[in-house]
Amino acid sequence: MTGIPASLKPPPKSRKFRDRFIDSIELIAAFFVGIVAADIFISVLLRYFFSVQIPDAYDFGRLLLGILIFWGIAATSYRGTHITVDLVWSSASPRYKRLIDIFATLVLLFVVTVQTYTLFDKVKQTYADNVLTFDLNLPTWPFFAVAWIGDVSAVLLIAVRTWLLIVEPQVIEGEHPLRTVE
């Protein structure tokens, strides 16, 4: 038989689109990490060298932190790089590994869906209470809304991951064989 090995075949269009979509979500989160670091770095320098403060540097820092974390959770959930206990999984056969992964991802999907539902209430509440930033009196709900969209993305991506684990497990398997967080 002289076919091209599966690993060398170009990925189908749907997969390319999915990969680009996930990369974009990760890049959005990564961009916000950079912005938060720049916010803190510049505001500290201005404070010590010019006795000047960026208005709302503190509020911007914490609100952008919220955005980066929820968008980061979306990518982390899809990539399967959460902190897990792999003791049973690592000694299971490939079939049981897959079953464990499907179960774990379904639980993850349930938890993140509930979280997204309750976070929407929080966004609505912040809007209704007209919570403002300290210096510029900007409404904070748009920041919360952007963070919430990150959580919505997490639900979508976990659903995609669950689907792939069931019908196309080879796409997910072996993506991140070793990962740790600490």
Partner 1 sequence: MSTDAVALIGFITLFALMLLRVPVGMAMGLIGVSGYAYLVGGGPALKLVGQTSMRTVTDYTFGVIPMFLLMGAFVSTSGVSRELFRAANTFVGHLRGGLGFATVAACGGFAAISGSSVATAATFSTVAYPEMRRFGYPQSFATGVIAAGGTLGAMLPPSTVLAVYGIITQQDIGKLFMAGILPGILAMSMYIATIVIIGLVKPDFLPSGPRASWDERLKGIRDVWAPLVLFLFVIGGLYGGLFTPTEAGGMGAGGAFVLGVLRGRLSRADIRHSLLQATRTAAAVFTVLIGALLFGYFLTVTQTPQKLTAFLTGLGLGRYGVLALIMVMYIVLGCLMDAMAMIILTVPIIFPVITELGFDPIWFGVIIVMTVELGLIHPPVGMNVFVIKSVVKDVSFATIFKGVLPFVVTDIIRLIILIAFPIIALWLPSQM
Binding-site ranges for partner 1 (CB under 8 A): 26-27, 29-31, 33-34, 36-42, 44, 48, 58, 61-63, 65-66, 68-70, 72-73, 75-76, 79, 81-89, 100-101, 103-104, 107-108, 110-112, 114-115, 117-122, 144, 147, 177-178, 180-182
Least CB distance to partner 1 at residue 163 (A): 18
Nearer to partner 1, 61 or 171 (CB): 61
Least CB distance to partner 1 at residue 8 (A): 24
Q: How many CB atoms lie within 10 A of CB 90?
A: 8
Q: What is the DSSP string of 55-109?
A: TTHHHHHHHHHHHHHHHHHHHHHHHT-S----HHHHTS-HHHHHHHHHHHHHHHH
Least CB distance to partner 1 at residue 37 (A): 4
AA identity, residue 57:
A
Least CB distance to partner 1 at residue 14 (A): 23
Contact 171, 15 (CB under 8 A): yes
Please tell me the distance from the alpha carbon of residue 17 to that of residue 15, in angstroms, as a whole number: 5
Q: Which of 71, 77, 67 is nearest to 101 (CA)?
A: 77
Nearer to partner 1, 112 or 172 (CB): 112
Nearer to partner 1, 1 or 181 (CB): 181
Nearer to partner 1, 17 or 107 (CB): 107
Q: Cα 160 from chain centroid?
A: 14
Nearer to partner 1, 51 or 182 (CB): 182
